[in-house]
């Protein structure tokens, strides 16, 4: 690996990155992710013998990141097939520009790390700090996209994921990178076992602690609250097709009215579930009034129109809470919009090039001012999160701590397997970090009730029509992460930087 040159080096780095993506859902093979980080260390080792080591290291980092994002996020292409006549031609550009743009973060991390590269353990900590900061930046710059950060490579072990309740996903990402990178120490004429052994021991402790936490913390239900999550399973291409609109609406209503042993007190529909603007359809509002008789609540994602006398009407991706008799209790507007999906950056310029949003309204959605928490009768305060708003660690709680999250989404955009499974894992991570349960209603699945330790208590799998009935788990006390947020991450970054400096100066020996 260290001796690779030219196109062989680029191809190997790309393949290593692609294989590392097998650590994420749906595969969950975390050894591949750890081995990928070790391979990146060895590639940067080899760059030190090149005339321009920083540029060579950055190139290896870019190729590694490109392979990882291309494989791990391949499902993005499905969104462009919903309306192929308008967007199919964009797929080749997306296949290059999307993973390539994200790979720039990894290229930056590798290039900066190469500038401070020293033989020995110091380089392991240097790359860990640079890579972890790059992942944090990826989650924040240009609205952020923290999908498949390294922490999610532990999706196969709910016990290890419990450590996110202590220090969050970004710190677990840092420790995962450090563990993987440390394995490069084994590839010497005289293998150095100490750092890999320490990291293996640390993750063993995290696993044991997580298993203990799961064993001693039962799921406790909120008394008197019964949830029904409706999964209508409407293909995205048929959602707003005129000939299917009545069918789609009737499906929502009929599934909501299905008999149950314990009648639901709260019905939840997915993101943008009504196939029309509710405020323009009084008969639909009358049916909602019937559904919410007897103090029942209905929560649903819906497109909302705000009329204007001085300019074009504005549209919001919203969440409505209807109380008894169909009374509208609260309206929440999505604040974390999806670039190229719900809004078009540099819209006037890109329109001229023929680029349009994936959603089918004219112009971009307007942005809300969330997150927010709403008090509703008969149930703990609720925090709505629409689709990928649940993606962002530390940015899901509003002005006060909710008793539960409602995550409404339409994962039919994400393809038939990898995307929805990765999105579900993200929802479980937010539950663990905050100690708050999640009720997740997805159009085509996976709908689920998730307790505050990330355990799924009821679910309906992909591409199935039906409902998820179950109790609402109660939230637990504040976690350490919910109190201190990403302060933990920056403390771990500082500690890693200190260790890198001490190793580079020879102040730490065996």
Do 235 and 124 share a structural domain? Answer: no
| Count of all residues that appear for the chain in the document | 510
Same domain, 208 and 228: no
| Span between the terminal Cα atoms of the chain, in Å | 26
**One domain for residues 167 and 228:** no
**What is the Cα–Cα distance from 399 to 86, expressed in whole angstroms?**
40
Asked, for residue 36, whether it belongs to a domain, the answer is: yes
User: 130, 387, 389, 434: which one is catalytic?
Assistant: 387
**Both tokens assigned to 132:** 């972890």
Q: Are residues 269 and 189 in the same domain?
A: no
- pLDDT at site 181: 97
Per 3-state DSSP, what percentage of the chain is helix, strand, and coil (rounded to 5)? 50, 15, 35
- Give φ, ψ of 302 to 5 degrees: -160, 150
Phi, psi of 410 (to 5 degrees): -130, 85
Percent above pLDDT 70 for the chain: 92
Q: Assess whether 507 carries a catalytic annotation.
A: no
Q: For the stretch 279-288, what's the b/e string if a residue is b when 16 or more beta carbons lie within 10 angstroms of its beta carbon?
A: eeeeebeebb
In a domain, 234, yes or no: yes
SS3 40: helix
**Does 509 fall in a domain?**
no
Are 23 and 162 in the same domain? yes
Helix (H) or strand (E) holding 268: strand 266-269
> 316-320: long-range contacts at Cβ-Cβ below 8 A with a sequence spacing of 24 or more?
316/365, 316/366, 316/368, 317/271, 317/272, 317/342, 317/365, 317/386, 317/387, 318/368, 318/386, 319/384, 319/386, 319/406, 319/408, 320/278
Distance of alpha carbon 276 from alpha carbon 146, whole angstroms = 32
Residues 175 and 320 in one domain: no
Beta bridge partners of 447: 460
Using the Cα atoms of residue 38, residue 43, residue 46 and residue 52 in order, give the sign of their dihedral: negative
pLDDT of residue 348: 55
Q: Of these residues, 135, 271, 389, 433, which one is catalytic?
A: 271
Asked whether residue 1 is assigned to any structural domain, the reply reads no
C-beta separation of 352 from 308 below 8 A: no
One domain, residues 257 and 299:
yes
- CATH code for the domain in which residue 232 is found: 3.60.110.10
Distance CA 16, CA 37 (A): 9
Dump pLDDT digits (tens) for 56-76.
Answer: 999 999 999 999 999 999 988
Is 303 among the domain residues?
A: yes
Please state the domain count of the chain. 2
Is the residue at 169 inside a domain?
yes
Q: Are residues 247 and 381 in the same domain?
A: yes
- Which pLDDT score is estimated for 364? 73
Q: Indicate whether 306 belongs to any domain.
A: yes
SS3 464: coil
Strand (E) or helix (H) holding 405: strand 404-409
One-letter-per-residue 3-state SS of 119-169: CCHHHHHHHHHHHHHHHHHHCCHHHCCCCCCHHHHHCCCHHHHCCHHHHHH
Contact 158, 454 (CB under 8 A): yes
Q: Is 510 inside any structural domain?
A: no
Residue 178, domain extent: 6-216+486-504
- Residues 251 and 347 reside in one and the same domain: yes
- Is 261 in the active site? no
Q: Could you confirm whether 271 is annotated as catalytic?
A: yes
CA dist 113 and 131 (Å) reads 8
Candidates 130, 135, 239, 334; catalytic one: 334
Q: φ and ψ at 331, to 5 degrees?
A: -130, 125
Check if the beta carbon of residue 87 is closer than 8 Å to that of residue 80.
yes
Structure confidence at residue 183 (pLDDT): 97
60 and 145 belong to one structural domain: yes
Contact 164, 172 (CB under 8 A): yes
pTM: 0.92
Q: Within this chain, do residues 116 and 196 fall inside the same structural domain, yes or no?
A: yes
Residues of the chain with pLDDT under 70: 79-91, 93, 340-363, 507-510
- Grouping H, G, I as helix, E, B as strand and the rest as coil, residue 51 is coil
Beta bridge partners of 474: none
Shared domain for 161 and 265, answered yes or no, is: no
Look at residue 339 in the predicted model and tell me its pLDDT: 72
Angle between helices 164-182 and 30-47 (to 10 degrees): 50
Secondary element (H or E) of residue 318: strand 314-322
């Amino acid at each position: 690996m260290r001796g690779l040159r030219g196109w062989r080096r680029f191809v190997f780095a790309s393949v290593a990155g692609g294989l590392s993506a097998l650590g994420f859902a749906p595969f969950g093979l975390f050894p591949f992710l750890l081995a990928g980080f070790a391979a990146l260390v060895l590639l940067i080792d080899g760059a030190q013998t090149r005339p321009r080591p920083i540029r060579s290291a950055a190139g290896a980092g870019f190729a590694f990141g490109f392979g990882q994002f291309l494989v791990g996020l391949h499902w993005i292409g499905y969104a462009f097939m919903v309306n192929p006549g308008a967007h199919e031609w964009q797929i080749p550009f997306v296949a290059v520009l999307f993973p390539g743009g994200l790979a720039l973060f990894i290229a930056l991390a590798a290039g900066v790390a190469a500038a401070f590269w020293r033989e020995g353990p110091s380089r392991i900590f240097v790359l860990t700090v640079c890579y972890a900061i790059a992942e944090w930046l990826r989650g924040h710059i240009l609205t952020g996209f923290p999908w498949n950060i390294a922490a999610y490579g532990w999706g196969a072990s709910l016990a290890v994921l419990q450590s996110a309740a202590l220090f969050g996903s970004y710190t677990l990402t840092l420790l995962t990178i450090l563990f993987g990178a440390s394995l490069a120490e084994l590839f010497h004429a005289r293998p150095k076992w100490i750092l890999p052994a320490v990291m293996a021991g640390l993750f063993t402790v995290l696993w044991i602690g997580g298993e203990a936490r799961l064993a001693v913390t039962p799921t406790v239900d909120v008394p008197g609250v019964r949830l029904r999550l409706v999964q209508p399973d409407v293909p995205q291409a048929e959602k707003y097709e005129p000939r299917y609109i009545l069918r789609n609406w009737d499906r929502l209503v009929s599934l909501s009215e299905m008999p149950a042993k314990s009648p639901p007190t709260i019905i939840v529909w997915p993101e943008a579930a009504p196939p029309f603007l509710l405020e323009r359809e009084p008969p639909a509002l009358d049916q909602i009034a019937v559904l919410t008789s007897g103090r029942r609540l209905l929560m649903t994602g819906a497109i909302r129109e705000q009329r204007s006398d001085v300019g074009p009407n504005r549209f919001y991706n919203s969440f409505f809470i209807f109380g008894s008799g169909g009374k509208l209790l609260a309206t929440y507007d999505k604040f974390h919009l999806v670039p190229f999906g719900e809004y078009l950056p540099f819209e006037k310029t890109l329109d001229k090039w023929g680029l349009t949003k994936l959603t089918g309204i004219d112009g971009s959605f307007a942005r809300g001012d969330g997150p927010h928490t709403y008090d509703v009768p008969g149930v703990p305060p609720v925090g709505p999160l629409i689709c990928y708003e649940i993606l962002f660690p530390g940015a899901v709680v509003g002005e006060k701590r909710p008793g539960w999250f409602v995550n409404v989404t339409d994962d039919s955009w994400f393809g038939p397997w990898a995307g929805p499974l990765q999105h579900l894992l993200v929802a479980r991570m937010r539950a663990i970090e905050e100690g708050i349960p999640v009720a997740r209603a997805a159009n085509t699945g996976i709908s689920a009730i998730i307790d505050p330790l990330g355990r799924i208590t009821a679910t309906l799998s992909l591409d199935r029509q039906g409902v998820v009935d179950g109790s609402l788990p109660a939230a637990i006390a504040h976690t350490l992460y919910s109190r201190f947020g990403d302060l933990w991450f920056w403390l771990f970054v500082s500690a890693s930087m200190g260790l890198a400096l001490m190793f580079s100066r020879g102040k730490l020996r065996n």
